[in-house]
Structure 1
Amino acid sequence: MAAPDTGIRVEPGSFRDPANRVFHAGDEVLRGLGPEGARDWRALSGSAFFAELLAEGKVCGTEQVDPARLPGWTAVLRHERIPFVSHPYEWSFAMLRDAALLHLEILRRALSAGFTTKDGSAYNLQWRGAAPVFIDVGSFAPLAEGEPWAGYRQFCQTLLYPLLLQAHLGLDFQPWLRARVDGIEPDAMRRLFRGTRRLLPGVPTHVHLHGAMQGRNARASTTEVRAQLRAAGYSRDLALATVRGIDRLIRRLDRRDEGSHWVDYQRTCSYTPRDREEKERFVEAAVRTAGTPRLVLDLGANDGRYARIAARHAAQVVAVEQDPAVVDALYRALRAEGERRILPLVMDLADPSPGGGWRGVERAAFARRARADVVLALAVVHHLALGRNVPLGDLLDQLVAYARPGGRLVAEFVHPEDPMARRLLANKPDGLFPDYRRDEFARLLAARCRIERQQELPCGTRTLYQAVVGG
């Protein structure tokens, strides 16, 4: 089923459940429900537990609307729009853990009320700032007694296994999840957790036993497996006990602290207090000039100093930082503050998240999601140009592409004689970057934007620019 050509577009990542599909109509998010999905919704919408989850903000706001909005569907729901869609491989350890715990809480409450969730994917969750929210309302279904949780494998592969990798082995999970949209397979985990590692918390049951059971039942149909479980006495109480056990396991897991140079960057960088004060004033004025921006991108956010300044005036700030340890520290601080306007994400700006999944569009690339009113590129240009050899023109093309037409770009140019630039150049051949000059940066910026103002910081080796994209 598909909506007619009325300006409504289908969400590419919502095709996996035939019972429902998500569409976008302007700023509205609609979900079409087929006959089965509509029956499940009627039962769900009348349940007390679902009303409580909505009231607590743990499930995205949802209401039923006129089915004529999506011809061909039995029922239509309208959901709140999440400020910025992110992917699990862009989250830090604590973010993934909190998302997993919310998923388990929702499943536990659903089971207690006679419902279940049909899948257990990390992609069922998004963020309002530093607070996770469950978005896959179409995943709820009435529970059949003796039926196992259909989402267990997905939960392991996209949530539990990445957490085990980071907690037990100190491996950043983000590259593993980015490489496979369906998560980490049990066979891969079994190879990593051999010998004494087999006995680490959660590994015997959820890696080795899970993998063995999966292999043993590889040729059995879903109906046969369910019949076997019912015959063995599998019940809702046992399912609840399993969920509580996974919850306890995940709460005990934490990120192994391997140390990071960037965690201490604000203390060890070359800014003087006066430089920092002038820079903060410049950034705040630039964001305030944009009115009330719907979205600000802070690229190279580090500890979130400038993201917090932007959040005073913006509806949503996405704070991007390459180092997972730095993002984890920022997220934990924002969570403690109850911050709902700043979303921290893990991303290498020289290798931003590409499109992934089916046809490369099931999970949208970062560049497609980022259409900001204000882009902050502070203390990041020199890292990309000198540290990663990105030509200045190409770099500015990408920064400009992250902004909507008429949006603002706030960029900091670190002069070649700055201590940080000299440090980046120390291991580079002499003369490798002849075009890395302030006048050339300004010329390239003016060719792409209208420069509104610029300011040299008191140190004399850094210049800030505020420019209108497409101006």
Structure 2
Amino acid sequence: MTVPDTDVRVEPGSFRDPGNRVFHRGDEVLRGLDERCARDWRALSVTDFFRAQTAAGRIVGTEELTPTPVDAPWAAVLRHERIPFVSHPYEWSYGMLRDAALLHLDVLAAALEAGFTTKDGSAYNLQWHGARPVFIDIGSFEALRDGEPWAGYRQFCQTLLYPLLIQAHLGLDFQPFLRARVDGVEPEQMRRLFAGLRRWRAGVPTHVHLHGAIQSRNSAASTRDVRDQLRAAGFSRELALATVRGLTRLVGRLDHRPGDSHWSDYQRTCAYSVPDRQAKEAFVDRAVAGAGAYSVLDLGANDGRYARIAARHAGHVVAVEQDPAVVDTLYRTLREEGEQRILPLVMDLADPSPGGGWRGVERAAFVDRARADVVLALAVVHHLAIGRNVPLPDVLDQLTALTATGGNLVVEFVHPDDPMARRLLANKPDGLFPDYRRDAFEALLARRGRIVSRTVLPSGTRTLYQVVVGG
């Protein structure tokens, strides 16, 4: 489908369903529907199910543009509520993935009861308002037809259930598995991971081994053949609902509590004194309050202390932390509080999410999604420059690239004589970082923006800067 309006940008990740396509017009998020999808939408939009789920914030707010724009090549055009920040499932913690899976199943169960189903079951059908998941793929809903199984079951397994099984039963972080393949974890890989006695773990016999056996048996059969076989066997909406409820019970039992890690107690064990912490909190509060920011990116967020301060003054905050266990603890706390302004994400800043999927743009890279009005880089620079051997100019290039032009970068420089810096330097050859000095850092900052404020913390070994990028 072509788009005649030059102000319209087609969403690169929206092409797999030829019946509908997401695109952007200015700040609007729109979806074009063909004739069949438009009929499904209009039937869906008047149901009590859809209205209730939307009112509860479980399905993204959506309205049809009427009349349909005359230059639009679709039978209907929808406008969606804009999600503050689009994230990918491999950037979520275990608790986030589990809650997303449960919402997906709850929405599907309610849809089945109303006479609808979903075409797919991908984790990418969900996004977040802070710590609250929301179902966004309106184009996935279609009228339920007798004798048809849930078409999204395989996708649900590969992008949601299988990653949860891997972490719950094997203790392996699921994020690398999802990042490796945009379509998720393949059944054959799961069968190898869950061989021997592991095959009897909860959920594995049915959704890994039996699922794989059925797929192999029906590999030569067409979709119509399978549908006819199910209809003849008496497959019904009640059986579909029973399957979804069984999955819900399984996912509900697959809880995995994060254990202790190097970073989980960082705020207590790091080198900050009480006066240092108080001065740092006051500096961050002033900087964000004075910036008039809508979006804030907190890099190395740890327990979310500074993300919370930023959220007092901003519309939304993305809190990035590399340790999945720390992110999961933060997420569970934010969820209990009902926080909808802070989104915690798992991200290694030295290896951020790249572009993925078809042509490398189906899933946008983190650096292409994350430009913010204010970027907080607190206790981050020394870990990248010394701990990960990233040249100091490159560290600042990355931080300023994540900051909107005219936006504010709030950055902390840990002096070489600080206890944490000395600890990192002790593991490196002598003389490896001759330019890791405060004067060199300030000169690099001045080339990338205007330093509007600075303060040395009471300990004397750390300095905070507020920089207007490009200013």
TM-score range, shorter chain: over 0.9
Instruction: Spell out, residue by residue over 1:37-70, the C-alpha distance to the aligned partner (whole angstroms, 9 max, x if none).
Output: 1111111012110111111110010001031165
Instruction: Spell out, residue by residue over 1:182-230, the C-alpha distance to the aligned partner (whole angstroms, 9 max, x if none).
Output: 0000000000001110000000000111111111111211111111111
> Which runs of structure 2 are paired with 1:188-199 in the superposition (5 Å)?
188-199=189-200
Cα RMSD, aligned residues only: 0.9
Cα deviation for residue 258 of structure 1 reads 4.2
Q: Is the 8 A contact 1:40 1:142 kept in 2?
A: yes
> Which runs of structure 2 are paired with 1:178-197 in the superposition (5 Å)?
178-197=179-198
SS state at 1:133 partner:
strand
Cα deviation for residue 259 of structure 1 reads 2.5
Match of 1:146 in 2: 147
Match of 2:363 in 1: 363
Match of 1:205 in 2: 206
Instruction: Spell out, residue by residue over 1:60-112, the C-alpha distance to the aligned partner (whole angstroms, 9 max, x if none).
Output: 10001031165111111100000000000000000000000000000000001
Q: Which amino acid aligns with 1:457?
A: L
Q: Is the 8 A contact 2:258 2:328 kept in 1?
A: no
> Which runs of structure 2 are paired with 1:342-357 in the superposition (5 Å)?
342-357=342-357
Distance in 2 of aligned mates of 1:268 and 1:134: 39
Match of 2:43 in 1: 43
The verdict on how the C-alpha distance between 1:469 and 1:218 changes in structure 2, with shifts beyond 3 A counting, is: same
Match of 2:100 in 1: 99
Distance in 2 of aligned mates of 1:351 and 1:372: 19
SS state at 2:30 partner:
strand
Cα deviation for residue 335 of structure 1 reads 0.3
Give the gaps of 5 or more residues in structure 2. none
Give the gaps of 5 or more residues in structure 1. none
- TM-score normalized by structure 2? 0.99
Q: Which amino acid aligns with 2:354?
A: P
Match of 1:232 in 2: 233
Instruction: Spell out, residue by residue over 1:345-393, the C-alpha distance to the aligned partner (whole angstroms, 9 max, x if none).
Output: 0000000011111111110001010110000000010000010000000
Distance in 1 of aligned mates of 2:42 and 2:258: 47
Match of 2:158 in 1: 157
SS state at 1:261 partner:
coil
Distance in 2 of aligned mates of 1:438 and 1:205: 59
The verdict on how the C-alpha distance between 1:430 and 1:141 changes in structure 2, with shifts beyond 3 A counting, is: same
Q: Is the 8 A contact 1:170 1:258 kept in 2?
A: no
The verdict on how the C-alpha distance between 1:274 and 1:69 changes in structure 2, with shifts beyond 3 A counting, is: farther
Q: Which amino acid aligns with 2:165?
A: L
Distance in 2 of aligned mates of 1:257 and 1:397: 33
Distance in 2 of aligned mates of 1:262 and 1:341: 23
Q: Is the 8 A contact 1:4 1:71 kept in 2?
A: yes
> Which runs of structure 2 are paired with 1:426-445 in the superposition (5 Å)?
426-445=426-445
The verdict on how the C-alpha distance between 1:69 and 1:368 changes in structure 2, with shifts beyond 3 A counting, is: farther
> Which runs of structure 2 are paired with 1:157-176 in the superposition (5 Å)?
157-176=158-177
SS state at 2:13 partner:
helix
Distance in 2 of aligned mates of 1:307 and 1:390: 25
Q: Which amino acid aligns with 1:392?
A: L
SS state at 1:68 partner:
coil
SS state at 2:58 partner:
coil
Instruction: Spell out, residue by residue over 1:246-297, the C-alpha distance to the aligned partner (whole angstroms, 9 max, x if none).
Output: 1011111122544201010001111011100000000010001111x12100
Q: Which moved more, 1:53-62 or 1:301-310?
A: 53-62
Match of 2:90 in 1: 89
Instruction: Spell out, residue by residue over 1:392-429, the C-alpha distance to the aligned partner (whole angstroms, 9 max, x if none).
Output: 00000000000110000000000111111111112111
Match of 1:341 in 2: 341
Match of 2:60 in 1: 60
> Which runs of structure 2 are paired with 1:225-304 in the superposition (5 Å)?
225-255=226-256, 257-291=258-292, 293-304=293-304
Q: Which moved more, 1:376-385 or 1:207-216?
A: 207-216
- TM-score normalized by structure 1? 0.99
Q: Which amino acid aligns with 1:387?
A: G
Distance in 2 of aligned mates of 1:214 and 1:237: 23
Q: Which amino acid aligns with 2:207?
A: H
Distance in 1 of aligned mates of 2:28 and 2:445: 35
Match of 1:332 in 2: 332
SS state at 2:216 partner:
helix
Cα deviation for residue 5 of structure 1 reads 3.4
Sequence identity (%): 75
Distance in 1 of aligned mates of 2:92 and 2:70: 34
Distance in 2 of aligned mates of 1:439 and 1:245: 62
Q: Which runs of 4+ in 1 moved over 6 A?
A: none
Aligned length: 470
Distance in 2 of aligned mates of 1:173 and 1:23: 30
Q: Are 2:372 and 1:383 aligned?
A: no
Distance in 1 of aligned mates of 2:414 and 2:71: 52
